[in-house]
Amino acid sequence: MFDETEFCGGRTLAVNALTGSHNYNLNTPASDKDYKFFVFPNFDDLYAGKMFANSITSPTLDATCHDVRQLVELVWKANLNFIEVLFSKNCVMDSALDFLFIARDSLATMNLYTFFKATYGMHLMKIKDLRKGTGNTTNLVEQFGYDTKQACHALRCLYVISRFMEYGHMGKALWFDDSDYQRVVLLDVKAGKYTEAEFLDYVASWHNVWKEDAEKFYRNATPDDKAHEWAQNGLKQVVKANLMK
């Protein structure tokens, strides 16, 4: 049984956010649940200059835990997996952090060119490892000849890049409605309904349509250093106040 307090090292919970396929409507009955926890540092963490971290992976649950001091920087570095924390459909958090989630539209887009490079880089990494599989997906490689779950993630990265260009809103780019044809394609990829060659052809077609325009679009975005500084200063005050409780 998962013990949240033990998992977080006895530290005070700042954020517990549902992430992963359940959070962008690409889950299937076989999907595990993914959570990202953020905790407040205790005195010993601050004194020693340490950041608490923990993780767990099981057939039903994948979870990571991070020091909340990292939250703004992780969003600034524009990793898709952390940006989506701000748009979690099921999130429990300390009310003092409301200001970050209220400003999520601005924070999620404060470093767009880095977002493009990080998300496209994640796509390339998953494409490179399609035939390797992971501890939980080697059966997919054996069954379909490639890791269809990672293929789904790889294509989703590309979709999110182009969907943000279309919608101009990160939350809408991340969420796939039931009626969305891209959701159907992603779930079909995940279920192994495409051969590896067919999937790679689909990826190539995205590049032909979107890659050049996407690079121009994101390269022209100016980083919002003021939003970054505002969020960092606000988070600093919240951490300070929590330590003094």
Residues 99 and 166 in one domain: no
Same-domain status, 212 and 230: no
* pLDDT, mean of residues 184-213: 97
Mean predicted confidence (pLDDT) in 231-239: 98
DSSP state of 20: S
Cβ contact 134:147 at 8 Å: yes
Q: Are residues 124 and 159 in the same domain?
A: yes
pLDDT at 1 over 80: no
Q: Are residue 174 and residue 121 in the same domain, yes or no?
A: yes
Using one digit for the tens of pLDDT, what is the confidence trace for 23-52?
999 999 988 899 999 999 999 999 999 999
Does 198 share its domain with 229?
Answer: no
> 101 and 136 share a domain?
no
d(CA 223, CA 54): 31
Q: Tell me the pLDDT tens digit for each residue of 137-176.
A: 889 999 999 999 999 999 999 999 999 999 999 999 999 9
Residues 161 and 105 in one domain: no
Question: Is 90 found in the same domain as 19?
Answer: yes
Tokens representing residue 187 in the block: 């779930």
Residues 42 and 55 grouped into a single domain: yes
For the chain, what is the mean pLDDT? 95
Helices (H), the chain: 4-7, 43-48, 71-76, 80-83, 98-102, 104-108, 112-128, 138-144, 148-167, 170-174, 181-190, 196-206, 212-219, 225-243
- For residue 173, the one-letter residue type is A
Q: Name the nearest CA neighbour of 187 among 18, 30, 13.
A: 30
Please tell me the total count of domains within the chain.
2
For residue 35, list its beta bridge partners.
18, 63
10 lies in which domain range? 4-109+223-243
Share of the chain above pLDDT 70, in %: 100
pLDDT, residue 136, reads 78
pLDDT at residue 134 in the model:
80
Tell me the whole-structure pTM to 2 decimals: 0.94
The structure tokens listed for 195 are 């051969």
Q: What is the pLDDT of residue 145?
A: 95
Structure tokens at 100: 């970050």
Q: What is the pLDDT of residue 2?
A: 81
| pLDDT value at residue 16 | 97
Residues 11 and 75 in one domain: yes
Q: Which amino acid is at 52?
A: F
Same domain, 19 and 57: yes
Q: Are 12 and 4 in contact (CB under 8 A)?
A: no
Residue that the structure tokens 């990265």 belong to: 157
| pLDDT of res. 133 | 82
Residue 173, pLDDT score:
98
Per-residue pLDDT of 44-57, as tens digits, reads 999 999 999 999 98
Give 214's pLDDT tier (boundaries 50, 70, 90): very high
